[in-house]
Amino acid sequence: MSTAAVGVGSHHDAHAHGGSQSWIKRNILSTDHKVIGLNYMYTGIFFFIIAGLFAEVMRLNLAQPGSKVVSPDVYNQLSTIHGSAMIFLFTIPMLVGGFGNFLMPLMIGAGDVAFPKLNLASYLFFPPAGIILFAGFLFGGAAQAGWTSYAPISTQTPLGMTHDYGQICWLLGVILAGVSSTMTAINFLVTIINMRAKGMSFHRMPLFIWAMLVTVILTLAVTPALAGALTLQLLQIIFGIPFFDWRKGGNVLLWQHMFWFYSHPAVYIMILPGMGIVSEIIPIFSRKPIFGYKAIAYSSAAIGLLAFLVWAHHMFTSGVQSWLEIYFMIATMIIAVPTGIKVFSWVATLFEGNVVLDAPLLFALGFVSTFTVGGITGIFLASVPVDLQEHGSYFLVAHLHYVLFGGSVFAIFAGIYMWWPKMTGKMLNEKLSKLHFWLMFISFNVTFMPMHVIGLLGMPRRVADYDPQFGSWNLFISFAAFVLGASFLVFFYNAAVSLARGQKAPANPWGGRSLEWTVPSPPGHGNIAVEPYVTAGPYEFNHPAAWFGPSESKSADEAHHA
């Protein structure tokens, strides 16, 4: 695949060749993977802010028993849209559409993705998906059935209405988000398989690329199940076809099976790219080759395979046959093995390394520690008797935020701090970055750790009001949640100052070894001046000699591998 060999100017020089193009053409309708990646990020962070504000309103309502900041109906709408937006409009598009788009072609030494126009189309589906999901608030109230949208709650019509328009908006929004991520997945799969630089065998791919490869295969395999489920529910709500109505011969559990056949793998769609980000950061900031490259790469593949086989662990309380429960319980516990292999490899990489505690590593360590807590409570919940007891309690809210926030969101910010210089050409203020980390890390744990306790004490999840005995716990949690929300202000301030008058970023501020660090910050249009030729793996710090370069300089090392 030929890579466009345009000069390595800055982002703005790059657009000089299209100087006559309008602002919209350059910044919104561009087919450059870097512009598209950044647009995914801006859009994702916009939805993150709204969904985060919804969470703060919920916490305000929960601060005291009996408070009426919002009605129970509105509480349900806020929590449904908070969860759905965090998953479908922030975490997945941010990691795959955002980081995947910006980094993947650069890391494999390609000029762009395989199908740049398809890539733009994928992005253009994303903002409307979000707008439609939120539009429910304008049509008599947004969806209220939780982000899992279980029938029969989701298929009921609110009193006095012909249809549940909020639920219809939810379904249409999620369908559009699914179309968008399916197109991206096809594009990335072709790009990773066909467009890697010469010499970059599978075993020389950066671990982020391995993670992305497994992620897009998962996406392609399971999103059709979700699309099917969503379409059936839409047909039931609009035309009354009783797919999930047991009174008319439907099957109410069918929704749960189809939904979780997608949504359990989606948990890995949200965590594998994060693990990839962390696998890039830890060796660079330990000044050591990664420990267990193949172990990490293959454990991503193992997680990808096992992810298909455990979905009904979400349905223990719904009445699954007991012999199936035993199977799903054991299979779920087995997934902890490849995950543990990764955690072990990261810790072994840090061990006796020259550890530099800059912001990217801090956030990566935040990821490893909090994700491990979430993983451990996940093993508790995999056990059928424990799940029967805790599934409906705040213990589950604690678990899922440790995985999704402590896991994915910490990894997203690790990635932002790591590649901000590459993406913007500017450095961030390191002191403010560290301040953001400590504020976020401490207030995250203070917010969500006590939720384990109130869950075990019996506070149910998905409630707008609760027994007064939990009052002081909830006041404490709400207070911490406001600090957590405020911690992001430090980031936005830091980002604004950096963009306005930040120090100029060099091509390789951290001493990275993968190909994106060989091009200027930000990279020019077409990415690379010379087609790279890869002669070693990406983490070989023992080989200080450059392992990439013009394709003529095929090294002796490469002759052996070829």
Residue nearest to ligand HEM (CB): 83
Q: Does residue 399 belong to the site contacting Cu ion (CB under 5 A)?
A: no
| Backbone torsion region of residue 353, taken as left when φ is above 0, otherwise alpha when ψ lies between -120 and 50, otherwise beta | beta
Question: Which of 550, 504, 413 shows the shortest CA–CA distance to 11?
Answer: 504
Binding test (CB under 5 A) with Cu ion, winner from 264, 452, 461, 525: 264
Q: Does residue 55 belong to the site contacting ligand HEM (CB under 6 A)?
A: yes
Query: What letter would DSSP give residue 65?
Result: T
Question: 462 contacts which partner out of Cu ion, ligand HEM, none, CB within 5 to 8 A by kind?
Answer: ligand HEM
Q: What minimum distance in Å lies between the beta carbon of 307 and ligand HEM?
A: 17
Residue 531 to residue 486: CA distance in whole angstroms: 45
Query: What letter would DSSP give residue 550?
Result: B
Does a cis peptide bond (omega within 30 degrees of 0) precede residue 152? yes
Q: Which of residues 384-423 bind ligand HEM (CB under 6 A)?
A: 397, 400-401, 404-405, 408-409
For residues 83 and 512, which CB has a smaller minimum distance to ligand HEM in the complex? 83
Number of other CB atoms surrounding residue 353 within 10 Å = 17
Q: Would you say 516 and 509 are in contact if contact means Cβ atoms under 8 Å apart? A: no
Residue 94 to residue 88: CA distance in whole angstroms: 10
Number of other CB atoms surrounding residue 376 within 10 Å = 12
Residue 526 to residue 33: CA distance in whole angstroms: 9
Q: What minimum distance in Å lies between the beta carbon of 134 and ligand HEM?
A: 16
Question: 264 contacts which partner out of ligand HEM, Cu ion, none, CB within 5 to 8 A by kind?
Answer: Cu ion
Question: 146 contacts which partner out of ligand HEM, Cu ion, none, CB within 5 to 8 A by kind?
Answer: ligand HEM
Q: Does residue 522 belong to the site contacting ligand HEM (CB under 6 A)?
A: no
For residues 391 and 554, which CB has a smaller minimum distance to ligand HEM in the complex? 391
With vertex at residue 40, the alpha carbon angle to CA 227 and CA 531, rounded to the nearest 5 degrees, is 110
Query: What letter would DSSP give residue 504?
Result: B
With contacts defined by CB under 6 A, name the span among 1-9, 51-59, 94-102, 136-144 that binds ligand HEM: 51-59
Residue 257 to residue 321: CA distance in whole angstroms: 13
Q: Which of residues 427-466 bind ligand HEM (CB under 6 A)?
A: 447, 461-462
Half-sphere exposure (Cβ direction) of 497: Cα atoms closer than 13 Å: 14
For residues 148 and 555, which CB has a smaller minimum distance to Cu ion in the complex? 148
For residues 91 and 494, which CB has a smaller minimum distance to ligand HEM in the complex? 91
Task: Let me know how many helices (H) and strands (E) the chain has, helices first.
Answer: 19, 0
Binding test (CB under 6 A) with ligand HEM, winner from 33, 59, 204, 342: 59
Q: Which of residues 112-171 bind ligand HEM (CB under 6 A)?
A: 146-148
For residues 305 and 463, which CB has a smaller minimum distance to ligand HEM in the complex? 463
For residues 439 and 534, which CB has a smaller minimum distance to ligand HEM in the complex? 439
For residues 85 and 282, which CB has a smaller minimum distance to ligand HEM in the complex? 85
Question: 147 contacts which partner out of Cu ion, ligand HEM, none, CB within 5 to 8 A by kind?
Answer: ligand HEM
Q: Would you say 325 and 316 are in contact if contact means Cβ atoms under 8 Å apart? A: yes
For residues 405 and 420, which CB has a smaller minimum distance to Cu ion in the complex? 405
Q: Would you say 138 and 51 are in contact if contact means Cβ atoms under 8 Å apart? A: no
Q: What minimum distance in Å lies between the beta carbon of 349 and ligand HEM?
A: 26
Question: Which of 480, 538, 542, 535 shows the shortest CA–CA distance to 514?
Answer: 538
Q: Would you say 170 and 136 are in contact if contact means Cβ atoms under 8 Å apart? A: yes
Binding test (CB under 6 A) with ligand HEM, winner from 77, 79, 149, 370: 79
Q: Which residues bind ligand HEM (CB under 6 A)?
A: 52, 55, 58-59, 79, 82-83, 86-87, 91, 146-148, 397, 400-401, 404-405, 408-409, 447, 461-462, 481, 484-485
Q: Name the residues that contact Cu ion, by CB under 5 A.
A: 264
